[in-house]
Structures are given as structure tokens and as C-alpha cells.
């Protein structure tokens, strides 16, 4: 992802977080302002202009309802729209302060809160705009306001009430700033972590693409020498048919050459199916059986213990070709881990949960823990670090996941979960 695009994407994401924060803060403001008006009129019995204040609180309540409706809509929240939300809050707050003493009202410092929230979520030019609006509101409230009526013959009660209001204002400001800025900061950290994951995924996919391109060229180049080898092996088999030992070795070489030819053909078929966008629709039991047969050809020294839940055998799976490769890679990794620990036991448990299928591959050795292989790393001396990285990429591309879980009796369980159907429509 381009750094400038990533920065812009982060601002748009934080704009929505700001709109959500303001929506909840607006609800708190409506209820707090309404209770304050009721308290001042009924308890303190101060004659304040109730109608204009009720009008301002009502406008804010209607806008709060609109904001919650807007946030449920699918289209994204833009930076200008988030700025508009802040501007409405400043305008309504200035209106309420105008009718309650203006700049002499102890709650006038609440005009600072929109600036702080905007600074945590919006680009600098929008923060400057919010600061200008708040400053204009404050400066206009100095000469133009409706003074609060006096409450007694001397000013002591007025002063005491002003001090109490300042204390309440400080508590309210501190609580709301601490809570909502912490909420925005947490959302920011989550977004940054997501961008980092996307960056790592893009780098890994670029590596996989480079390997795939090199593999395609290598497959094309290998076809000619492989054809020559198969032709020469056929002639040698005819010439050495009277020598049983040599004939057996030549037959083995011929079978391995045929296996190489089949792998190259399968590679071409995989590419063709990917270009056509047509996954193989197959029963889950048959799919696992094909994977088992191919794994036994690759690792004849391993006897896998395969268990398929009864209700999963006949379930249909839209199997992408790379899903088969991912499962075989996991089985091969498990075989290597078990053999390194002096065991040849490898387990595969297949189960269906709703519309998804889980392949649990169990080894009985040190296994491969979480994170290993994602960036082409390997714990094996002769490994390339490709198998697990490709399995992770396949799981993500199909809309699933791959994670590792340590087992109580030793070893690890690699859990590959993918959707049963329409997996090919869940690309990145």
C-alpha cells in the first residue's frame, strides 16, 4: 500500500471513529443539558430563557438521532462530513451559552473539547478549521450574550455558584476527554495494526507471486529435458530387460520421471483452472481421499491417521487447486516434525461446522508454532519456508484462517478453516 494512500485511508477510518464518538458524546450532552436546565429552573429557581434553551437542546437531540442513522448506512464517513458534525456541536453549544451568560458561563471552556477530539482524528487543516470555529464562538460570546439574572442582593452567592460551575465543568471535561480520546487512541492503534498486517500480507504475496512466476518459467524449461530423460529411459529399459536388478532401478526412475511429468501437467492445469475461475466441486470425503493418495505417493514412509466426521463425508466442497496443495504441505510439515522426533505418526481430523470445514493436521514432534513460515522462514535445515507461507496465503485468500495449537500429549495441531462453498469469491 502506498504510504500516502495508507495515511489517507487512516484519516478516513478515524473520521468515522470521530463521528461515532461525537454521536455518543452528543447523547450525554443532551441529557446533561436538559437536566441542568431543569435543576436551574426548579431547584435554584433562576429565571433563565427556557424556550430558546429547549430549542437548542431539541436541535441537538434531532441531530444526534440523525447521526446514529447515518452511521448505520453503508457509505463511508468523509473528512468534510466529520468536520460538519463538529461544527454543528460548536454551533449548538455557542447558542446555549449565548442564552446563559456567554463567556461568563463557567461551561464556556467546553468549546475546547471539539478541538481536542478533532486533533486526535482529523488532518491538520480540519483541526485548524475547528479551532477557528471554536475561537470565533468564544470571542462572539464576550460582547454578545444574555446575562444570567442576579440571584441575591450581594454577589457572594453568584460567585459561589460560579465556582461550583467551574468545578463541575472541570470534572465533566476531564472525564469526557479522558474517555473519548482514549477510545479514539485505541481505535487508532487497531487501525495501525491492521495496516501493518496488510503491509506484511502484501509483502508475502509479492514473494509468492515472484516464486510462482519463477516456477512457471522453470516448469516450461523442464519439459524438454524431462521428455528426453523419459525417452532415454525407455530405450534403456528395452536394452536391459535381461538384467532384473538394473531393470527394477530403471523402472523406478521411469516412474519418478512420470511423476515429474504429472506434476508439470498438474501445474498447468492449476493455472488454467485459476484463469477460468472454476473450482472443483467435489464431496469432502473424495477430496480428502485424493489428498491422501497424493500424500502417500510423496511420503510413502508415513502412514497418516485420517478421521472424517460422519456428517462431513458427503458435504460438497468447492475446492480450489491451492487448497489441496495447502493441505498436503501441512501434512508434509507434520511428517517432518514427527520424523525428527523419532515418530512416523501424523493425524488428520476433518470436521464441518456450519458452512465451514476444518482440517486439523497433528504432528507428534516439536511441530511448527504460530508465526513460523509466514515470512518464508523455516525451522528445518533443508526447508525453504514455502509450505506454511503458502498455506497461510491460501487460507486468507479463501476467506478462512490457519492457526497452530499445542497439544497436551506433545506436538502441534495446525487448524486450517475455510468455507465449504463459494470460497473462490472470497479473495483479498
Q: What confidence score (pLDDT) does residue 92 get?
A: 94
Look at 138-142, 375-379, 424-428 and tell me which has the smallest mean pLDDT.
424-428
pLDDT band at 383 (very low <50, low <70, confident <90, very high): very low
Q: Locate cell 522453470: which residue?
A: 218
Overall average pLDDT of the 30-42 stretch: 88
Does the pTM surpass 0.85? The reply is no
Res 278 pLDDT > 50: yes
pLDDT band at 219 (very low <50, low <70, confident <90, very high): low
Look at 5-9, 71-75, 120-124, 407-411 and tell me which has the smallest mean pLDDT.
5-9
| Three-state secondary-structure class, residue 27 | helix
pLDDT band at 6 (very low <50, low <70, confident <90, very high): very low
Residues 6 or more apart whose CB falls under 8 angstroms from that of 390 comprise 208, 322, 325, 326, 329
Q: What confidence score (pLDDT) does residue 55 get?
A: 95
Sign of CA dihedral 374, 380, 386, 392: negative
Q: What confidence score (pLDDT) does residue 167 get?
A: 67
Do residues 230 and 261 touch, judged by C-beta distance below 8 A?
yes
Chain segment 253-275, per-residue pLDDT in tens = 888 888 777 777 766 666 665 55
Residues 6 or more apart whose CB falls under 8 angstroms from that of 262 comprise none
User: Which CATH number is 279-425's, of 3.40.1000.10, 3.30.70.1350, 3.30.565.10, 3.70.10.10?
Assistant: 3.30.565.10
Res 53 pLDDT > 60: yes
List the domain boundaries for the chain.
Answer: 3-201, 209-275, 279-425
Average pLDDT, whole number, for the chain?
Answer: 78
**164: its cell numbers:** 461550583
From 80, 177, 92, select the one nearest 137 (Cα to Cα).
92
Do residues 118 and 97 touch, judged by C-beta distance below 8 A?
no
Amino acid at each position: 500500500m502506498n504510504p500516502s494512500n495508507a495515511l489517507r485511508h487512516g484519516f478516513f477510518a478515524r473520521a468515522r471513529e470521530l463521528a461515532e464518538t461525537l454521536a455518543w458524546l452528543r447523547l450525554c450532552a443532551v441529557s446533561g443539558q436538559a437536566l441542568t436546565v431543569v435543576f436551574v429552573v426548579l431547584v435554584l429557581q433562576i429565571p433563565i430563557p427556557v424556550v430558546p434553551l429547549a430549542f437548542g437542546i431539541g436541535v441537538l437531540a434531532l441531530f444526534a438521532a440523525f447521526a446514529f442513522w447515518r452511521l448505520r448506512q453503508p457509505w463511508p464517513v468523509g473528512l468534510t462530513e466529520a468536520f460538519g458534525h463538529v461544527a454543528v456541536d460548536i454551533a449548538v453549544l455557542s447558542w446555549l451559552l449565548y442564552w446563559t451568560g456567554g463567556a461568563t458561563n463557567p461551561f464556556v471552556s467546553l468549546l475546547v473539547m471539539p478541538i481536542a477530539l478533532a486533533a486526535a482524528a482529523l488532518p491538520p487543516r480540519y483541526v485548524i478549521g475547528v479551532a477557528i470555529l471554536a475561537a470565533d464562538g468564544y470571542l462572539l460570546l464576550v460582547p454578545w450574550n444574555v446575562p444570567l439574572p442576579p440571584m441575591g442582593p450581594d454577589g457572594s452567592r453568584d460567585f459561589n455558584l460560579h465556582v461550583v460551575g467551574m468545578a463541575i465543568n472541570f470534572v465533566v471535561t476531564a472525564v469526557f476527554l479522558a474517555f473519548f480520546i482514549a477510545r479514539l487512541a485505541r481505535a487508532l492503534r487497531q487501525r495501525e495494526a491492521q495496516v501493518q498486517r496488510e503491509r506484511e500480507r502484501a509483502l508475502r504475496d509479492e514473494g509468492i507471486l515472484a516464486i510462482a512466476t519463477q516456477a512457471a518459467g522453470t516448469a516450461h524449461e523442464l519439459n524438454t529435458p524431462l521428455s528426453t530423460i523419459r525417452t532415454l529411459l525407455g530405450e534403456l529399459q528395452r536394452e536391459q530387460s535381461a538384467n532384473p536388478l538394473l531393470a527394477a532401478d530403471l523402472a523406478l526412475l521411469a516412474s519418478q520421471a512420470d511423476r515429474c511429468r504429472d506434476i508439470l501437467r498438474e501445474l498447468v492445469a492449476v493455472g488454467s483452472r485459476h484463469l477460468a475461475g472454476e473450482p472443483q466441486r467435489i464431496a469432502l470425503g473424495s477430496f480428502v481421499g485424493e489428498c491422501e493418495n497424493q500424500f502417500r505417493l510423496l511420503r510413502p514412509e508415513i502412514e497418516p491417521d485420517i478421521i472424517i466426521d460422519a456428517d462431513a463425508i458427503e458435504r460438497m466442497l468447492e475446492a480450489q487447486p491451492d487448497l489441496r496443495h495447502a493441505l498436503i504441505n501441512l501434512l508434509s510439515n507434520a511428517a517432518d516434525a514427527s520424523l525428527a522426533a523419532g515418530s512416523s505418526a501424523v493425524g488428520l481430523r476433518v470436521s464441518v461446522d456450519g458452512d465451514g470445514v476444518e482440517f486439523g493436521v497433528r504432528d507428534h514432534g516439536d511441530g511448527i508454532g504460530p508465526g513460523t513460515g509466514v515470512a518464508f522462514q523455516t525451522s528445518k535445515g533443508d526447508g525453504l519456508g514455502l509450505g506454511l507461507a503458502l498455506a497461510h496465503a491460501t487460507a486468507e485468500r479463501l476467506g478462512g484462517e490457519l492457526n497452530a495449537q499445542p497439544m497436551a500429549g506433545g506436538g502441534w495441531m495446525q487448524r486450517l478453516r475455510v468455507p465449504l462453498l463459494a470460497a473462490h469469491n472470497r479473495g483479498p
